[in-house]
C-alpha cells in the first residue's frame, strides 16, 4: 500500500497546506504532481507511458469535460433568454401568496436554476440577486438569506440533467453512462428539496403575511402568455431527457446514430457522443434559433468558455492522476486491500474521508477526484453495485462540500448578500444553518453503500 499512501499524502499536503511555497492550495498542481509520483512509485519510468496514462485518464473523463463545456454554453443561452426570470415569476404566481409559499418558491427556483446551469455558484448569482431584497422584506436574517440561496442552488447542482457530481462519480466507477444513477438521484434529490424547503419555511419565516409589494399581481397563465418563448429550449431538453430515460426513445440516436457511433469510437472526442451531452447540444441548438441568442453568439461562447476554464483545468489535471493510478497499479492495490478489510471499516473510513476532504476544500469535485477515484472502484470490488457506488460517491461529495469551514458557494453568496445589504454576513454561521442538507446527503451516501 506504500504506492498508494505516499501519492495520497503528497496530494493532501499540497491541497491543504496553503503555506507551501508556490504550490500550496493549488489543486491542479496537486493532481499533476500526485500523478507523476504515483507513476514513479508504481515503477513506470518511461515518459511515453506517462503520456499514455494521461490520454487514458482524459478518455475516462471525456464526457465530464464535454458536459462542462457544452453545459456552460447552454447555460449562457438560458441566461440570455431570461429563462430563469420566467420560471421564478411563474413559481411565485403559483406558490408565492404566503411567506412560507414564497420561500418554497425561492428554493424551487434555485434548484431549477442549479439543475439547468449545472453549478451552484452560477445559480446563486443568477437567482440570488433577484430574491435577496424580497427575503429581507420577510424579516430574514442575512445568514438565513445566504443559507437559503446556497441550499437551493446546491440542491440544483446535483439535480439531473446537468450534474457534474453524478456524471463524475459514474465515470470514476466505470459506468458507460449516468442514466441509472440520474434516475435514482431524481428521487433522492427530490426528497432533499422537500426536506430543505420545509426546513427553511418553518425555521426562518416568522411573519404571518406578506408585505403588499411581494404578493404576485399576475397569474401563471398571464406570465406564460407573455414569456413562453423563453422556456422552449428548457422544454426541449426536458422532452429529450424524459423520452430517453423514461420511454427509452432516444431522438439523437434515431437521427444521427451512425455519426455518434463513429465519434464514440474516438478517444477523448467520444465525450461529445455521450447521450446526455448530445441532448444538451440539441437543446442549445433550439436556443440559437432565437434572435436574442444568435445575435449575441460571440459573447455567449466567450463567456461560456471563460466560465468553464477553471473546472476543466481541474479535470484535465485529474485525468493525469486517474490515468496514473490505473497504469501504475494503485487502483488494483486499493481493491486488493479493500477486499481484505472489514467491509464496514472500509465503507465508513472511505465515506468519512470524502466528507473530510470536501469539508476542508469546499469542493465536491476535489473530494471525488482525490478520494473517490480509488474508493469508488474499491467499493465495487467488495460487492457494492457500480450504480449504488456512484450514487454514494456523488451524495457524499455533495454533503462534504457544504460543511464548515470552507464551502466556496457560501463564501460567494455571503459576499453577494453582504454587498447588497451593506452588512457583514458570517459565512461559517450560514454553513452551520446549512447542516440539515449536508447531513441528509451524507446519510443517503452511506445508505447506498449498504443496499
Burial grade of 176 (CB within 10 A; 0-12, 13-18, 19 or more): exposed
Any residues with CB less than 8 A from the CB of 49 and at least 6 apart, and which?
39, 327
Could you please report the per-residue DSSP string of 280-296? HHHHHHHHTTSHHHHTT
Pick from 362, 396, 335, 11: nearest CA to 174: 335
Is 35 inside a domain boundary? yes
Please give the pLDDT value at position 436. Answer: 96
pTM listed for this prediction: 0.87
Could you please report the per-residue DSSP string of 219-283? -HHHHHHHHGGGGHHHHHHHHHHHHHHHS---HHHHHHHHHHHHHHTSTTGGGGGSHHHHHHHHH
Report how far residue 241's alpha carbon sits from residue 280's, in angstroms, rounded to the nearest whole number: 9
Contact between residue 166 and residue 182 where contact means Cβ atoms under 8 Å apart = yes
Is 277 inside a domain boundary? no
Contact between residue 312 and residue 47 where contact means Cβ atoms under 8 Å apart = no
Report how far residue 223's alpha carbon sits from residue 210's, in angstroms, rounded to the nearest whole number: 21
Report how far residue 136's alpha carbon sits from residue 106's, in angstroms, rounded to the nearest whole number: 13
- Cell output for 54: 494521461
Is 362 inside a domain boundary? no
Sign of the torsion formed by the C-alpha atoms of 429, 434, 436 and 439: negative
Is 10 inside a domain boundary? yes
Is 5 inside a domain boundary? yes
Please give the pLDDT value at position 2. Answer: 86
Is 30 inside a domain boundary? yes
Any residues with CB less than 8 A from the CB of 202 and at least 6 apart, and which?
100
Q: What is the pLDDT along the chain (451 residues), one digit of tens a residue?
A: 788 999 999 998 998 898 999 899 898 999 999 999 999 999 999 999 999 999 999 999 998 899 889 989 998 999 999 998 899 889 989 988 899 999 999 999 999 988 887 788 888 887 887 889 889 999 999 999 999 999 999 999 999 888 889 999 999 998 988 899 999 999 999 999 999 999 999 999 999 888 888 888 899 999 999 999 999 999 999 899 889 877 889 999 999 999 999 999 999 999 999 988 999 999 999 999 999 999 999 999 999 999 889 889 989 999 999 999 999 999 989 888 887 878 999 999 999 999 999 998 888 888 998 899 989 999 999 999 999 999 999 999 999 999 998 898 999 899 889 988 888 899 999 999 999 999 999 999 999 999 8
Contact between residue 155 and residue 107 where contact means Cβ atoms under 8 Å apart = yes
Burial grade of 446 (CB within 10 A; 0-12, 13-18, 19 or more): middle
Report how far residue 221's alpha carbon sits from residue 86's, in angstroms, rounded to the nearest whole number: 12
Q: 26 lies in which domain range? A: 1-45
Is 29 inside a domain boundary? yes
Pick from 90, 66, 47, 382: nearest CA to 235: 90
Please give the pLDDT value at position 133. Answer: 87
Please give the pLDDT value at position 119. Answer: 81
Tracing cell 430543505 back to the chain, one arrives at: 196
DSSP class of residue 209 equals: S
Please give the pLDDT value at position 334. Answer: 87
- Please report how many Cα atoms fall inside a 13 Å half-sphere around the Cα of residue 286, on the Cβ side: 20
Please give the pLDDT value at position 370. Answer: 87
Is 385 inside a domain boundary? no
Tracing cell 425561492 back to the chain, one arrives at: 106
Contact between residue 257 and residue 207 where contact means Cβ atoms under 8 Å apart = no
> Could you give the number of structural domains in the chain?
1
Could you please report the per-residue DSSP string of 112-144? HHHHHHS-HHHHHHHHHHHHHHHHHHTT--HHH
Please give the pLDDT value at position 318. Answer: 92
Please give the pLDDT value at position 440. Answer: 98
- Cell output for 265: 469510437
Report how far residue 216's alpha carbon sits from residue 88's, in angstroms, rounded to the nearest whole number: 11
Amino acid at each position: 500500500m506504500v504506492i498508494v499512501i505516499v501519492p495520497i499524502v503528497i496530494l493532501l499536503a499540497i491541497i491543504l497546506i496553503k503555506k507551501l511555497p508556490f504550490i500550496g492550495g493549488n489543486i491542479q498542481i496537486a493532481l499533476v504532481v500526485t500523478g507523476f509520483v504515483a507513476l514513479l512509485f508504481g515503477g513506470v519510468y518511461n515518459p511515453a507511458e506517462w503520456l499514455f496514462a494521461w490520454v487514458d485518464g482524459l478518455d475516462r473523463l471525456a464526457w465530464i469535460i464535454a458536459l462542462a463545456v457544452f453545459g456552460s454554453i447552454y447555460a449562457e443561452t438560458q441566461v440570455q433568454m431570461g429563462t430563469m426570470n420566467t420560471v421564478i415569476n411563474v413559481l411565485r404566481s403559483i406558490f408565492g401568496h404566503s411567506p412560507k409559499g414564497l420561500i418554497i418558491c425561492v428554493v424551487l427556483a434555485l434548484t431549477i436554476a442549479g439543475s439547468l446551469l449545472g453549478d451552484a455558484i452560477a445559480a446563486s448569482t443568477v437567482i440570488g440577486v433577484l430574491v435577496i431584497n424580497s427575503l429581507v422584506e420577510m424579516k430574514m436574517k442575512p445568514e438565513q438569506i445566504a443559507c437559503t440561496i446556497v441550499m437551493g442552488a446546491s440542491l440544483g447542482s446535483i439535480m439531473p440533467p446537468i450534474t457534474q457530481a453524478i456524471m463524475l462519480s459514474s465515470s470514476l466507477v466505470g459506468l458507460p453512462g449516468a442514466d441509472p444513477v440520474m434516475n435514482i438521484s431524481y428521487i433522492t434529490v427530490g426528497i432533499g428539496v422537500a426536506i430543505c424547503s420545509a426546513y427553511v419555511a418553518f425555521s426562518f419565516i416568522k411573519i404571518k403575511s406578506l408585505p403588499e409589494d411581494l404578493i404576485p399581481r399576475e397569474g401563471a397563465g398571464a406570465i406564460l402568455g407573455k414569456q413562453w418563448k423563453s422556456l422552449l429550449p428548457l422544454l426541449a431538453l426536458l422532452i429529450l431527457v424524459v423520452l430517453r430515460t423514461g420511454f427509452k426513445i432516444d431522438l439523437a440516436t434515431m437521427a444521427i446514430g451512425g455519426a455518434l457511433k463513429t465519434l464514440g469510437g474516438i478517444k477523448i472526442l467520444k465525450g461529445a457522443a455521450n447521450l446526455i451531452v448530445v441532448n444538451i447540444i440539441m437543446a442549445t441548438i433550439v436556443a440559437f434559433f432565437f434572435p436574442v441568442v444568435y445575435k449575441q453568439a460571440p459573447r455567449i461562447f466567450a463567456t461560456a468558455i471563460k466560465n468553464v476554464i477553471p473546472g476543466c483545468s481541474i479535470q484535465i489535471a485529474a485525468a493525469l492522476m486517474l490515468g496514473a493510478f490505473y497504469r501504475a497499479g494503485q487502483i488494483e492495490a486499493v481493491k486488493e486491500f479493500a477486499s481484505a478489510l472489514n467491509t464496514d471499516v472500509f465503507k465508513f473510513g472511505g465515506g468519512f474521508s470524502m466528507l473530510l476532504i470536501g469539508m476542508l476544500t469546499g469542493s465536491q469535485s476535489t473530494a471525488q477526484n482525490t478520494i473517490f477515484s480509488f474508493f469508488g472502484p474499491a467499493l465495487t470490488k467488495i460487492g457494492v453495485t457500480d450504480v449504488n457506488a456512484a450514487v454514494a460517491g456523488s451524495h457524499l461529495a455533495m454533503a462534504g462540500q457544504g460543511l464548515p469551514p470552507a464551502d466556496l458557494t457560501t463564501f460567494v453568496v455571503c459576499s453577494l448578500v453582504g454587498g447588497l445589504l451593506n452588512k457583514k454576513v458570517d459565512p461559517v454561521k450560514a454553513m452551520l444553518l446549512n447542516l440539515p442538507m449536508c447531513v441528509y446527503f451524507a446519510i443517503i451516501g452511506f445508505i447506498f453503500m449498504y443496499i
